[in-house]
Structure 1
Amino acid sequence: MRVLMFGWEFPPHIAGGLGTACYGMTRGLARNDVEVTFVMPHAYGDEDQRFVRVVNASDVEALFGSVDSGSEELLQKMSFIRIDSNMVPYVSPEEYAEYHEKYVRTGQRVWEHGDVWKRRYVFSGKYGANLMEEVARYAVVAAQVARYMEGRFDVIHAHDWLTYFAGIAAKRVSGKPLVVHMHATEYDRSGENINTQTYAIERAGMHAADRVIAVSNLTRNIVITKYGVPPEKVVTVHNAVRFAENQGAAPERGLDDKIVTFLGRITYQKGPDYFVEAAAKVLRRVPNVRFVMAGSGDMMNHVIRRVARLGIADRFHFTGFLRGDDVHRMFQLSDVYVMPSVSEPFGISPLEAMRSNVPVIISKQSGVAEVLDYAVKVDYWDVDAMADAIYGLITYPALSRMFAAKGLEEVTNLKWNDAAAKIKAVYEAAIAEQNNRK
């Protein structure tokens, strides 16, 4: 089976769990005899391509002037605020000279397609101010990729709202079934104060898809109730965790204090303020504890100010955003990992912590709570319960060892190969349904 997959990020260049999930998933699919071509807006060239072929959308020439109606319709639905950016069509000076000479000599347009001009867009692949425009242009490039790869893929797979228009465009060009993956909804990111444009893209993508994969039953319920997607079309496939090929020795700690870690975006969704309040309560009972907040986000300044007001700044450490081996080393240094998310569709980071033999505390409002028995579960808003759980794990060694050992055993059974087998079954169902309609 061959899959044309659209994503937004891929290790080692990631901004969160989406890229990590895509990497584990593509490795698992390869081991299930699924060949994946992974298209992303901006590739750096150092991605691990042993199990997947990575296509850099910034290298793809898209046709303009006679754009297929599907892509044109998508572009018309988008509104843009123009800003100065590097995302402009370009040709090299040598190409321009050659084409200009041909035009002067023959009177023909510079390209070989009549009135059609080719353009190449340089995508940043970031989550910046021109994100919506990049999402729309990505759809145009996706249509061209699908046209170029005609006959060389069986199904299309698009990850999260950033790539849904790309998936729709590829489906319209190729006629192949579309599977969209919902890793996080706009309700998870923003609560009830949703961005209506993002919501509209999510809804359009899921309704255009032949199947929707949700990363948890929590997410599946949101997809059905908030977006009106038919239940029979939505399948839950929980994420997994990949064990590093070389775990490496634990780094030297250099102190005797216990270390409690938060790792994630410092945004409303991840509940960093509840972590701070729980930390203050713990420090009133146990002074020799250090709290680490690893990440970055729009609540960073708010959190720093709150830590200062609580008088715990000497016990709090902000590392900034961590990636790759630094994440693994941070887990190895930790005695407890806390994920106090307000709304977490799944949450891979607790699995990564458990893989490093660290006991974890997670919010009941997380998808990963559905698959873990040996994690302490609290309501995100219950800072007293969170503080009690932290206190128990750092004060009673036997309790900590039990959760760490049982957690490691539990997480060892959550393999990407098994998750990928379920995803492959979703592909097969989508293909079979389309064949039955013909």
Structure 2
Amino acid sequence: MKALMFGWEFPPHILGGLGTASYGLTQGMAAQGDMDITFVIPRPSGDEDTSFLRIIGAGDTPIVYRDVPYEYVRERLSGKMSPEMYYHLRDHIYADFSYRGTNDLGCFEFSGKYPDNLLEEINNYSIVAGVIARAEQVDIIHSHDWLTYPAGIHAKQVTGKPLIVHVHATDFDRSRGNVNPTVFGIEMDGMNQADHIITVSDLTRRTVIDKYHQDPAKVTTIHNAVTPLAPSILALPDRRGVKDKVVTFLGRITMQKGCEYFVEAAAKVLERTKDVRFIMAGSGDMMDAMIRLAAERNISDRFHFTGFMKGQQVYEVFKSSDVYVMPSVSEPFGISPLEAMQCGVPSIISYQSGCAEILSYAVKVDYWDIDAMADAIYALITYPEMHTFLKEEGLKEVNSITWEAAGRKVRAIYERYTR
């Protein structure tokens, strides 16, 4: 089974949960043995783990013919793409794009992030998808999140192969219902053109059916999972350097993530005890507002803003925490509580998160109920028996949630459309 997947992030260079989920799912699917996955991302760095799939960089794929020598191509694309693949792709340029701005190899330049000209990059990505789809023999096409839906649609049109779109989030989640009409249109078009839709939670499935008017029979929930931690991560020491308990929020500091409710709950906990510190790890458009809110609540001396963290840094924070809190207003899934639980950190999550559907040993509260959130935090830092119970049972539970199982469910959907 050959799958052509379109994504926007892939570890170790990620900006959110999309890259983590893409890595875990593809690794889990590769465990089946006969899965052959080609994964396209805008701008690979060359240090991605390609032991279980092949990565093609959209920014390394020519859309304009350039007569460039072999050695120059090898030098320019060192570690990212072989000259042979470059020339193979060049042979499948399907239109005259010489009027478009391209580099010396005839390729678009991609940021690999979420720039101000994101819509332009999405369109360029879909043009590149046409070259790759013509060059690759595949059985199915799989697009991860709205940024890649136009690419998936183009690849489907070129190959005639079935298209699966994987909804990791919708604009209703990101905007609290105040959707961007352009983004909504791209999402709707992707879902309408898809042969099948995968959602990461029943919460997201209901949004897809109710807000995007999709046939329920066309939409299947496959929950995310977690990748087992390496021994080196498990062995990381607690480096907090203080005797106080530590309660952590880790994620994008945006309204979707409920960051203000975390600050308000922290203030209530600090009315009852001073032996606790709060960490807000991440970055986002509400960071300055959260710094001001902490100052207004007079808790700045107990609050720490670390900025964006990735890779091992995330686990270093978890290993130095006693409680993890994810108070999301609308969270399609939310992998971070599972990662915290892998490190033995009890988690408090909102009922409005998809992972609440599969976690029995996490404390669940409504995101807006700061009193309940504060009570849960206080209980976990005050009563050792409760903390130990959730730590041990949570670890057992999360270790049973595997990407291999999720991959088998995805494969079952593939087979419905490729028989």
Instruction: Please indicate, yes or no, whether the TM-score normalized by the shorter chain is above 0.5.
Output: yes
The one-letter code of the counterpart of 1:212 is I
Q: Which has the larger radius of gyration?
A: 1
Query: What is the number of residues matched between the two proteins?
Result: 390
1:414 aligns with 2:394: no
Structure 1 segments (4+ residues) deviating >3 Å: 90-95, 111-119
Contact 2:64–2:96 (CA<8 Å) still a contact in 1?
Answer: yes
Q: How many Å apart are 1:251 and its aligned residue?
A: 3.3
The one-letter code of the counterpart of 2:225 is A
Unmatched runs of 5 consecutive residues or more in structure 1 = 65-89, 96-110, 433-438
- The alpha-carbon distance between structure 1 residues 126 and 145, as it changes in their structure 2 partners (threshold 3 A), is same
Whole-angstrom distance in 2 between the partners of 1:422 and 1:320: 36
Contact 2:199–2:219 (CA<8 Å) still a contact in 1?
Answer: yes
* 1:213 paired residue number: 198
* 2:348 paired residue number: 361
* 1:389 paired residue number: 376
Whole-angstrom distance in 1 between the partners of 2:334 and 2:388: 23
Contact 1:142–1:167 (CA<8 Å) still a contact in 2?
Answer: yes
What SS does the aligned partner of 2:28 have?
Answer: helix
The one-letter code of the counterpart of 1:322 is M
1:177 aligns with 2:162: yes
The one of 257, 266, 278 equivalent to 1:279 is 266
Unmatched runs of 5 consecutive residues or more in structure 2 = 73-90, 99-105
The one-letter code of the counterpart of 1:239 is N
What SS does the aligned partner of 2:43 have?
Answer: coil
1:190 aligns with 2:175: yes
Q: RMSD over aligned Cα, in angstroms?
A: 1.9
Q: How many Å apart are 1:183 and its aligned residue?
A: 0.3
* 1:56 paired residue number: 57
* 1:18 paired residue number: 18
The one-letter code of the counterpart of 2:261 is Y
The one-letter code of the counterpart of 1:197 is T
Contact 2:63–2:93 (CA<8 Å) still a contact in 1?
Answer: no
Contact 1:29–1:35 (CA<8 Å) still a contact in 2?
Answer: no
The one of 270, 288, 293 equivalent to 1:301 is 288
The one-letter code of the counterpart of 1:50 is S
Whole-angstrom distance in 1 between the partners of 2:320 and 2:228: 17
What SS does the aligned partner of 1:27 have?
Answer: helix
Whole-angstrom distance in 1 between the partners of 2:95 and 2:273: 73
Q: How many Å apart are 1:245 and its aligned residue?
A: 2.2
The one-letter code of the counterpart of 2:38 is T
Contact 2:36–2:53 (CA<8 Å) still a contact in 1?
Answer: yes
* 1:228 paired residue number: 213
* 1:116 paired residue number: 96
- The alpha-carbon distance between structure 1 residues 225 and 113, as it changes in their structure 2 partners (threshold 3 A), is closer
Contact 1:63–1:144 (CA<8 Å) still a contact in 2?
Answer: no
What SS does the aligned partner of 2:293 have?
Answer: helix
- The alpha-carbon distance between structure 1 residues 19 and 113, as it changes in their structure 2 partners (threshold 3 A), is closer
Q: How many Å apart are 1:249 and its aligned residue?
A: 3.0
Post-superposition CA distance 1:238-282 (Å, at most 9, x none) = 000011222223233321100000000000100000000000000
Post-superposition CA distance 1:218-249 (Å, at most 9, x none) = 00000001001111110000000011222223
Whole-angstrom distance in 2 between the partners of 1:116 and 1:249: 54
The one-letter code of the counterpart of 2:387 is S
Whole-angstrom distance in 2 between the partners of 1:250 and 1:430: 48
* 2:79 paired residue number: none
* 1:157 paired residue number: 142
Whole-angstrom distance in 1 between the partners of 2:215 and 2:93: 42
Q: How many Å apart are 1:430 and its aligned residue?
A: 2.2
What SS does the aligned partner of 2:9 have?
Answer: coil
Moved more, 276-285 or 112-121: 112-121
* 1:4 paired residue number: 4
The one of 184, 198, 204 equivalent to 1:199 is 184
Q: TM-score with structure 2 length normalisation?
A: 0.90
The one-letter code of the counterpart of 2:58 is A
Contact 2:93–2:131 (CA<8 Å) still a contact in 1?
Answer: no
- The alpha-carbon distance between structure 1 residues 424 and 114, as it changes in their structure 2 partners (threshold 3 A), is closer
Whole-angstrom distance in 2 between the partners of 1:6 and 1:112: 18
Q: How many Å apart are 1:112 and its aligned residue?
A: 11
Q: TM-score with structure 1 length normalisation?
A: 0.86
What SS does the aligned partner of 2:340 have?
Answer: helix
Contact 1:139–1:167 (CA<8 Å) still a contact in 2?
Answer: yes
Identity score, percent: 56
